[in-house]
Amino acid sequence: MEKYLKDFDLPHKHSSEAALRRWRSAVTIVKNRRRRFRDVANLAKRSEAEQHKLKIKENFRVAFYVQKAALQFIDAPRRVEHRLSEETRDAGFGIDPDELASMVRGHDIIGLKFHGGLEGLARKVCVSLDEGVKSTDILMRQKIYGLNRYTEKPSRTFLMFVWDALLDLTLIILIICAVISIGVGLPTEGWPEGMYDGVGILVSIFLVVLVTAISDYRQSLQFRDLDKEKKKIFVQVTRDGYRQKISIYDLVVGDIVHLSIGDQVPADGVFILGYVLLIDESSLSGESEPVHISEEKPFLLSGTKVIDGSGKMLVTTVGMRTEWGKLMETLTEGGNDETPLQVKLNGVATLIGKIGLSFAVLTLVVLVVRFLVEKALHKEFTDWSSSDALTLLNYFAIAVTIVVVAVPEGLPLAVTLSLAFAMKKLMNDKALVRHLSACETMGSATCICTDKTGTLTTNHMVVHKIWICGKAEELEGSKSTDILKSTISERVSSILLQSIFQNTSSEVVKDKDGKNIIIGTPTESALLEFGLLLGGNFDAERKEYKIVKVEPFNSIKKKMSVLVALPDGRLRAFCKGASEIILSMCDKIVDHDGKSIPLLEVQVSEITDIINGFASEALRTLCLAFKDMDDTSDENNIPICGYTLIIVVGIKDPVRPGVKDAVQTCLAAGITVRMVTGDSIYTAKAIAKECGILTEGGLAIEGPEFRSKSLEEMKEIISKIQVMARSLPLDKHTLVTHLRKLYGEVVAVTGDGTNDAPALHEADIGLAMGIAGTEVAKENADVIIMDDNFTTIVNLAKWGRAVYINIQKFVQFQLTVNVVALVINFVSACISGSAPLTAVQLLWVNLIMDTLGALALATEPPNGALMKRPPVGRSVSFITRTMWRNIIGQSLYQLIIIGVISVYGKRLLRHGSSDASEIIDTFIFNTFVFCQLFNEINSRDIEKINVFRGIFDSWVFIIVMVCTVGFQIIIVEFLGTFASTVPLSWQLWLLSILIGAVGMPLAVVLKCLPVETDTSSVQHDGYEALPSGSEQA
């Protein structure tokens, strides 16, 4: 089948518009275009939205540059002051919302000075730059200056889904047929007999539409919850005098927002203070050159990204008054990209639809020809009555209903249903799927490149060991720090506390209860906590010294430096970071008296051994150093050498519980786990061994060594790499690229920093950390791991596999029903001149195999056996030979049984009464339905014999089965007038069930039949592929 589906091949990520248009044009048989394409990208709307977005950007650029040029010729005294509205004045504010928005958007520095600069602006929006907004003012600020929300499209109502379901072309034709049937039947057969056939079809259509709409509506609610979760972004603000975390949607004008590297600026605002604050404005202006924010360039725009540094801003404009708000309004247009599986099943549905349409036309032709021949033989060709018209109409309705059953419209929609269900469950399990295709792709992942800190470890760091003044100390609680304070001199303690409190991007702040809380990265928080335990006072230290210049930490430099002015006017530089980097910058060391003495080679060797010893105990090692500068005039450059080493710190970050088991689960599932970290090689190897990642024969390599290798050398070692230490973001990107392109791996990669964005974008599945991850990393990721836990990543892989397997189960089930229904009606039409299944019965069968089948099979939760089989390869056929074996076997059985009953039913069942034909037809219908129900149970596992495993964990499956049986009883026993059935005896009910149940031992026999499988068992990474076929779990 795969050779007929070439137009429906789609890459997992970054699909071209040509590929998206190609498969759309290849879909020719569609019953309900609106429903089929509802969950795929609308390329026309997307193009319009893109044009609108570009127009907004261009207008912004033009307005900005025009205003900037005009301001050079306008003197402040001659400015036209905006009129202040009564409402704004009565609320106590001194500046109009539109004036504020215009000033920041246009970078109107003269306007800012006109209002008294930052301090004047703060007075006019009634806020203290130290205390922030008061909670009691929030509602008033929202009323005057607006909410920080953008206009969104209203959610679709339930009635909209009902209307979508009604737009099915075949259902519309059947409605017309039903109305005509009623119109012709009433005059010929009278009331109420003349209405039965037509009303039966209408009631069946109503049921189909209702169940379909309910299923689609529930699915839309799951996606709506997912969208809400995606939009949850939190920022640090100062309110009511203390730091707190709030949603960006709760921001108001006047809020004091704290920004750090990787953050998205949540609203328009004015710079208060900060260090090396570098902003990427390309999302708004299109300019790739980053902007350095300072007192001279104080304006910050919503939606821009912090690519370096940190700072504080005063919020001036929110919501739709910002340019970003207008841009965000366009982002909801066009929808999400479709997934490869959705596209593949659109192809399958199209192919089968063509076959089904051919059968329907042939069936109609055969029925009509037989009817005409019979009339000719009876010499009634010229004698036509209304009953003849009803017969022909009935034939047409049967042909249309065959199309309803034959075109598996539910196939691609079942993927969406399964993904919606999986993503809802994953969201509860702390994995937020941003792109639908990632959920599918994760099931095929062969490699996970994971960070260490926070993912494999808890990210709850404490200073566990130190080396200072020639002595190593292990710290266990406050007693250890008390001993340490008594052993080091006051001068050493002073320089150490200066180094900790001055050279940090974290803060010690008060919460609403007045308690100290540390806000910042786990590593810096551990150092600050250590400083506080030594008796340091963060606020006092920061007030005593003035910070002149800061070079923030980033993953490339692996160090942070700061230049401070001492009270006596001298300058002092502090530096901290990766141990070997800081040690190489030092030529002196602090002695017991706090004096700087020369650092000898033998001491360097000793300290290196200490560092390696700490690292071998799985501790993260840092060195802290300082340098007193002789030249006080050089305030723009922080020195890169000549430092005095103060301390070596070993920070403990324990491995998360359950990580080792999760890694073993991955290895058993054929997924290679590689650790990529910025830590030292010793720390990385110790953690990797503890987690079970680094195995015998595995390679641990450092980033610099990896970068120095040629492409040919890389090819030889990449498959063996299990640990990469001291890596740069570029190393991670290179590793991911080579794994994908040289080895054809399906790679998942984790990332948290701004510099991880390229690797997250390049990987098949980008996994951003929800706690430690920056907004830039999250924006480039496919999935956000909200608890930063490796176990959650493994759970994601399990659900990815479940989605794939569930869709295979549903396809196997639906194709079996398709084959049997098509062949029965066609053969019966050819032989007997009538179809054994009426239009109403076929509509019920369609409901069982389509919406209800998808609900039952496509929403099954994963089981542990899924992670005991190898991943699905990129080029593997979706409909496997094993599935074809099951489909053909079950179809042949059902066709033989129904054929035998059709031909010999009266003789075998010994029915000679006047209503024998109706009883046999009802029995055939009932048996057919029970065959499908038992085949639905068989489809729960394509390869394993035990299909009942975990059946009670799938409550949706149980409910669907019970409801189907219940409604089947109602149709046969009570709705015979409309469904063309008659009540059956208990013996015939039991026989129907037994015939259906025979499909289960038949399935056991079929699963024991061997099918040709891929004989390759060893992968390039050395892991042995698990057995397939009947041995597969």
Residues classed as catalytic: 451
Residues 6+ apart with CB under 8 A from 257: 235, 236, 237, 251, 266, 267, 269, 312, 313, 314, 315
Q: Which two tokens stand for residue 238?
A: 């100062």
Q: How many CA atoms lie within 13 A of 761 on its CB side?
A: 13
Closest of 611, 617, 463 to residue 526, by C-alpha = 463
User: Which of helix, strand or coil describes residue 624?
Assistant: strand
- In this structure, the dihedral spanned by the alpha carbons of residues 610, 614, 616 and 617, taken in order and rounded to 10 degrees, is 150
Burial grade of 486 (CB within 10 A; 0-12, 13-18, 19 or more): exposed
Q: List the beta bridge partners of residue 246.
A: 235
Torsion, Cα 396 399 405 408, to 10 degrees, reads: -110
Q: At what angle do helices 681-691 and 659-668 cross, to 10 degrees?
A: 70
Nearest to 618 by CA among 564, 690, 711, 667: 690
Task: Locate 41 and state its tokens.
Answer: 């990208």
Q: Are 724 and 451 in contact (CB under 8 A)?
A: no
* Residue labelled with tokens 């990474």: 1021
Burial status of residue 333 (CB atoms within 10 A of its CB: 0-12, 13-18, 19 or more): middle
C-alpha dist (Å) from residue 903 to 153, 395, 828: 58, 21, 10
Pair of tokens at residue 372? 């005409």
CB of 408 within 8 A of CB of 387?
no
CB atoms within 10 A of CB 583: 20
Q: Is 248 exposed, middle or buried (0-12, 13-18, 19+ CB in 10 A)?
A: buried
Cis, bond preceding 704 (omega within 30 deg of 0) = no
Let me know if 306 is exposed, middle or buried by CB neighbors in 10 A (0-12, 13-18, 19+): buried
Q: What is the CA radius of gyration of the chain?
A: 36
Which contacts qualify for 234-239: CB closer than 8 Å, 24 or more apart?
A: 235/263, 235/266, 236/519, 237/132, 237/133, 238/130, 238/131, 238/132, 238/312, 239/132, 239/133, 239/134, 239/135
Q: How far apart are CA 856 and CA 956, in angstroms?
A: 6
Both tokens of 930, joined, read 């029970």
Find out whether 775 and 263 touch, Cβ atoms under 8 Å.
yes
Q: Which helix (H) or strand (E) holds 521?
A: none
Element (H, E) at 681: helix 681-691
Reported as type and span, the H/E element at residue 533 is helix 522-533
Q: How far is CA 933 from the centre of its chain?
A: 34
Neighbouring residues of 22: CB distance < 8 A, sequence distance ≥ 6: 7
Q: How many helices (H) and strands (E) in the chain? A: 39, 26
CB 649 within 8 A of CB 503: no
CA angle 29, 407, 412 (to 5 degrees): 85
